[in-house]
Amino acid sequence: MNLRCQSCGADLVVAEELRTTVCPYCAAPSVVERPPSVDRPPPTFALGFAMTQPSAAERVKHWLRTRHPWSHSGLKKAPLQDVRGIYVPAYLYSALAQSEYSASIGENYTETETYTTTENGKTVTKTRTVTKTEWRSLSGEHAEYVPDVLVTASRGLTNVELEHLEPFDLRMLARYEPALVAGWIAEEPSLSREECLAMARQEAMEKVKRRLDAFMPGDSHRMQDVNTRLSAESLEVCLVPVWVLAARYDPEKPPLRVVVNGQSGEVHGEVPISWVKVALTVVAVAVLVLVVYLMNQGGRP
Ligand SMILES: [Zn+2]
């Protein structure tokens, strides 16, 4: 059956027995039935779950126990709720990137220079070694194939969250078949193809920029101008396996949403910081500084 979350906009497809009124992404109790989407193409690829629900929960418990010392104390023992496996829609993008660049390439060299200084009231001449950089300009062309750029197509899982869960092992990619998602919650792409294409192109450009940076010779460089053209682009819908769950670390606060890569077990969540702990640490450091200061004072006549 087809459901829509009126809060975050996720379009879910679930089996009758998994009918839910609470959104698995945002926990909002505003899930309603919707007519099936007609114009959306089915996914091309899918990655299967490789991690069971108990082992995903185990990963999350370990992750919660090993957060920053300043994180909320309730996290260590937070009960996990609503652990759901979701096939999240993403776009898999690849393209050929051709760049023209111009850069300044810096080569370091050392020089011995003499200088004068005053020692015990006398002027003396000394030498020292200094590192200098000689700049030359370099321009050229660079072409490469950029494969496997993955961007979210879901309103329920942001692209930043997806990036935290990456990489997915795309060697396990299979052709999509409805049987694969039977018994799971699947989401249909709720972001437009255009939005996703723009995100994917930007990610591809950033990859190219990092590759060019690594490719430059010399001890240092400054990029002056880069002009990249993307061609032979491909963009396919791919379902990726994600466990989504809620950790109720404080009865007074909304639960922490945690997402787990259903393949590798990589965990991500925005851990709440305990400001009480931060304040106590600041006070403890201040007291320590004061004690050291007073001890030094006490040592003087
Ligand atoms: Zn929602």
Sort residue 183 into left (φ over 0), alpha (ψ -120 to 50) or beta: left
Q: How confident is the model at residue 299 (pLDDT cuts 50, 70, 90)?
A: low
Mean pLDDT of 139-145: 94
Q: Does 106 have pLDDT greater than 60?
A: yes
Which candidate, 256, 237, 113, places its Cα nearest to that of 187? 237
In whole angstroms, give the CA distance from residue 155 to residue 44: 19
Q: Does 18 have pLDDT greater than 80?
A: no
Mean pLDDT of 233-260: 91
- Ligand 1 centroid distance, CA of 247 (Å): 17
Q: Does 146 have pLDDT greater than 90?
A: yes
Q: Where are the alpha helices (DSSP H) in the chain?
A: 53-65, 159-165, 178-181, 193-215, 275-298
Q: Would you say 107 and 134 are in contact if contact means Cβ atoms under 8 Å apart?
A: yes
pLDDT tens digits along 89-99: 999 999 999 99
Mean pLDDT of 237-244: 95
Structure tokens of 249? 């670390």
Highest mean pLDDT of the ranges 5-9, 13-17, 259-263, 290-294: 259-263
Q: How confident is the model at residue 227 (pLDDT cuts 50, 70, 90)?
A: very high
- Ligand 1 centroid distance, CA of 285 (Å): 43
Q: Would you say 47 and 263 are in contact if contact means Cβ atoms under 8 Å apart?
A: yes
Q: Does 3 have pLDDT greater than 80?
A: yes
Mean pLDDT of 202-220: 92
- Ligand 1 centroid distance, CA of 22 (Å): 8
Structure tokens of 198? 């723009």
* H helices, E strands: number in the chain: 5, 11
- Ligand 1 centroid distance, CA of 29 (Å): 8
- Ligand 1 centroid distance, CA of 201 (Å): 27
Give Cβ neighbours of residue 276 (< 8 Å, ≥ 6 apart). none
Mean pLDDT of 122-135: 92
Evaluated on CA atoms 245, 249, 254, 256, the torsion sign reads negative
Q: How confident is the model at residue 180 (pLDDT cuts 50, 70, 90)?
A: confident
Share of the chain above pLDDT 70, in %: 99
**What pLDDT is stored for residue 20 in this prediction?**
76
Q: Does 301 have pLDDT greater than 60?
A: no
Q: Where are the alpha helices (DSSP H) in 67-188?
A: 159-165, 178-181
Mean pLDDT of 268-287: 84
Structure tokens of 199? 């995100």
Mean pLDDT of 178-182: 84
Distance of CA 281 to the CA centre of its chain: 29
Q: Does 274 have pLDDT greater than 80?
A: no
**What pLDDT is stored for residue 21 in this prediction?**
79
- Ligand 1 centroid distance, CA of 25 (Å): 5
In whole angstroms, give the CA distance from residue 96 to residue 102: 20
Distances (CA, A) of 15 to 29, 188, 287, 294: 18, 14, 60, 70
- Ligand 1 centroid distance, CA of 7 (Å): 5
**What pLDDT is stored for residue 108 in this prediction?**
93
Q: Does 120 have pLDDT greater than 90?
A: no
Q: Does 69 have pLDDT greater than 90?
A: no
SS3 83: strand
- Ligand 1 centroid distance, CA of 255 (Å): 14
- Ligand 1 centroid distance, CA of 82 (Å): 13
| Mean pLDDT over the full length of the chain | 89
Which candidate, 79, 43, 282, 83, places its Cα nearest to that of 173? 43
Q: Which range (91-95, 204-208, 271-275) has the least confidence?
A: 271-275
- Ligand 1 centroid distance, CA of 11 (Å): 9
**What pLDDT is stored for residue 276 in this prediction?**
78
- Ligand 1 centroid distance, CA of 52 (Å): 23
Pairing of strands 80-119, 122-152: antiparallel
Distance of CA 289 to the CA centre of its chain: 38
pLDDT tens digits along 24-54: 888 888 888 888 877 777 899 999 999 999 9
Q: How confident is the model at residue 300 (pLDDT cuts 50, 70, 90)?
A: low
The dihedrals phi and psi of 234, each to the nearest 5 degrees, come to: -130, 140
